[in-house]
Amino acid sequence: MKLKQSIYQLIDDDKGNHKADAYLDFFISGLIILNVLAVLVESYDGLSANIKFSLHVFDLISVAIFTLEYLIRIWTADLLYSEVSPTRARFKFIFSTYGVIDLIAIIPFFLPFIIKLDLRVLRALRLIRLLRVLKLGRHSNSLKMVGSVLKETKFDLLVTSFVVMILLLIASTLMFYLESGEQPEAFSNIGQSLWWAVATLTTVGYGDIYPITAGGKILSGIIALLGVGIVALPTSILSSAFVGKLQERKQKKKIVCNCPHCGKEI
């Protein structure tokens, strides 16, 4: 039990020796980044047999480490979720966000041994290894702050997204009826008009589909002007939330503790 407690404190960022936690986080984070780079390198043609073999060995080592980490976290889940029974605690971790991410990080390696898969499916599974980068969220304070900000602003972002979706639907429908008569190939349905609306509202303007009628041009101009403000709304929401988080973190660092006896700073 003592060993289990020590291991749990090591893998938990909020408990145990912070120096040891930092070393472990640095190691796992570095391994995750190297795995992402390995996936990128594998996409190049003409790699030598030695490089391919080295990448394969590195993948085996990474899977072994990630699998061990996953099993340890399942084993210590009853300490993480001490309010429930050990069995429920382990299931709670397995189906948690990070539990699913940890499983995704290793499942592409083990799945071909369980069921027979087509070569194209195997290639797709190898690309799934890129999702190992999501494991960084557990080991990076910066990514934790990003997750916290998104969680706090999710309602505001949902409202903004809902407004954008309504505007896209209205704009694409209007543009379809304005342009379909003159450009039946470009605006053959509302789906194609929706692509135009997305490109215009985000002010990207690819130029592959554009209006030629007077009404269509006027609508396009209005949507482009609205896009400048609407696309900026989520940015401003996230920016203000990040500034608030950073100020909160600075305030915590400025808190000074004084000894109740001598009054000196602790």
Q: Give the contacts of 18 (CB within 8 A, at least 6 positions apart).
A: none
Q: Which pTM does this prediction carry?
A: 0.63
User: How many other CB atoms are there within 10 angstroms of residue 53's CB atom?
Assistant: 11
| pLDDT tens per residue across span 71-98 | 999 998 988 888 889 899 999 999 988 8
Task: Name the token pair of 182.
Answer: 């003159």
List own/partner pairs for 95-102 with CB under 8 A and 24 or more apart: 98/135, 98/137, 98/138, 99/73, 101/131, 101/134, 101/135, 101/137, 102/66, 102/69, 102/70, 102/73, 102/135
Which region among 18-27, 69-78, 149-158, 205-214 has the lowest average model confidence (pLDDT)?
Answer: 18-27
Picking from 7, 131, 28, the residue whose alpha carbon sits closest to that of residue 75 is 7
pLDDT, tens digit, 9 for 90 and up, residues 173-203: 999 989 988 888 888 888 888 998 888 888 7
Residue 23, helix vs strand vs coil: helix
Q: Tokens 């966000």 map to which residue?
A: 97
pLDDT band at 123 (very low <50, low <70, confident <90, very high): low
Q: Where are the domains of the chain?
A: 2-139, 154-251
Mean pLDDT on 155-175: 88
Q: Is domain 154-251 classified as CATH 1.10.287.70?
A: yes
pLDDT tens string 197-241: 888 888 777 878 888 999 989 998 898 888 888 877 888 888 888
Q: Under CATH, domain 2-139 is a member of which superfamily?
A: Voltage-gated potassium channels. Chain C (1.20.120.350)
